Amino acid sequence: MAQAVVTASKLRLVFQVGMDDEGKPVLKAKTFNNIQKSAAPDQLLQAAQALIGLSNDTLSNIERVDNADLLA
């Protein structure tokens, strides 16, 4: 059976920085590399909330980005 082995994890915070002419939100993402591959969603959320608390930007989304190697 094929396996996916996570090689790197990232935490991505998406902020809404304004509106464009058509009223669509303008988003800006900030990525934090070097996240523990074993991090649980609760832990990620805890860290993300601490980070967001320091910024004036309005949060839109918190994402986790995983890179994985596929092995046959």
Where along the sequence are the contacts to other proteins (CB under 8 A)? 11, 15, 28, 30, 32, 34-36, 39, 43-44, 46-47, 49-51, 53-57
Kindly tell me which of 3 and 56 has the beta carbon lying closer to other proteins: 56
Kindly tell me which of 32 and 63 has the beta carbon lying closer to other proteins: 32
**CA-based nearest residue to 56, from 11, 12, 17:** 17
Q: Residue 52 Cβ, how far from other proteins at the closest point, in Å? A: 9
* Residue 16 CB partners (closer than 8 Å, separation 6+): 25, 26, 27, 28, 57, 58, 59, 60
